[in-house]
Amino acid sequence: MVNTMLALVPVLVFLGPLKIVIRLIAAGAVTAFAGALLHGWLLDTGRISQTALSHWVAPITEEMLKALPVIWLVLRKRVGFLVDAAILGFAVGAGFALVENVEYLRALGESSVFLWIVRGFGTAVLHGGTTSILAVLGKGLEERRPGAGLAAFLPGLAAAIAIHSLYNQFLLPPMVATLVLFVTLPALLVTVFALSERSTRAWLGAGFDSDIDMLQSILSEDVEQTRIGQYLLALQSRFDGSVVADMLCLVRVRVELSIRAKGVLMAREAGVPMPVGEDLRANLNELRYLESSIGRTVPSSGRDLWQIHMLEAEGASGPRRVPIA
């Protein structure tokens, strides 16, 4: 029982009480099972030795498998900020570490408590930390280069593989290696949290003001003088007037929802509950109708898409905790 607690509890300690990460923990567990099947097949066929697998192959295959849920979330615009990427990446790594430690418990049985201190904390920080690094770097590059696609995740994947491989070389005693991970990786994540907090607060302030100004421009009689108005006027030669009018409505609804999303985040940060009303659901329904009838003519950023997804989740489940840097 003591060994089991030392193997599994440290993995969950780093996550805290965030209920939204449960599905990602499950996704990480699935990747761990997939990795175990792949590695078992490689060993059974005699294609590779246990040492080569541990030192060189496992760091590559395991980090690539753990990267899949993270990449899917980021490219689907389900991650809003760097701090969210760090939390969700650690959740995937935690699910992987849980399965790996259960497998070690089964294989090693009655080993010393000292071993499970090293295994529990070492595995938790290693898998959670490397996947968080991958998620943060991938999210950051994806924001700066929206068209990069999978290439945005290559630097983070390379860093995760390098850290994992170095840990598996056993260049340091196990306890020392665990302490190094325990100090360096969490410190790196704390730095990410601090940077993301400043960036998020600046985005909320500037973004809220710019959204208000844009909404006032759209609702004013001088909308044709704005950038949005000029863009829509340029489309009149290619679309019917009714379609251009729908485009203007789509821009208005998006701006209104953007203001609502930022208001929700500010309210959550201040600890003030913001109930979901029928007006939000009506705006979301109008948005989906306009998007289906117009298509992707009116561009939107990744952060805009994340805001819409967040509001849809609010409308579906009611007020809940929204991660904010």
Reported as a single tens digit per residue, the pLDDT across 35-94 is: 999 999 999 998 889 899 999 999 999 999 999 999 999 998 888 888 888 888 999 998
What pLDDT is attached to residue 8? 44
What pLDDT is attached to residue 27? 94
What pLDDT is attached to residue 115? 64
What pLDDT is attached to residue 317? 53
What pLDDT is attached to residue 171? 81
Could you tell me which of 144, 134, 84 has the C-alpha nearest to residue 301?
Answer: 144
Per-residue HEC secondary structure of the chain comes to CHHHHHHHHHHHHCCCCCHHHHHHHHHHHHHHHHHHHHHHHHHHCCCCCHHHHHHHHHHHHHHHHHHHHHHHHHHCCCCCCHHHHHHHHHHHHHHHHHHHHHHHHHHHCCCCHHHHHHHHHHHHHHHHHHHHHHHHHHHHHHHHCCCCHHHHHHHHHHHHHHHHHHHHCCCCCHHHHHHHHHHHHHHHHHHHHHHHHHHHHHHHHHHHHHHHHHHHHHHCCCHHHCHHHHHHHHCCCCCCHHHHHHHHHHHHHHHHHHHHHHHHHHHHHCCCCCCCCHHHHHHHHHHHHHHHHHCCCCCCCHHHHHHHHHHHHHHHHCCCCCCCC
Could you tell me which of 134, 111, 114, 132 has the C-alpha nearest to residue 122?
Answer: 114
pTM as predicted: 0.73
What pLDDT is attached to residue 325? 39
Contact between 130 and 90 (Cβ < 8 Å): no
For 45, counting Cβ atoms within 10 Å of its Cβ (0-12 exposed, 13-18 middle, 19+ buried), the class is: exposed
Reported as a single tens digit per residue, the pLDDT across 6-45 is: 444 444 444 444 567 788 999 999 999 999 999 999 999 9
Work out the number of other CB atoms within 10 angstroms of the CB of residue 233.
12
The list of the chain residues with pLDDT below 50 reads 1-17, 319-325
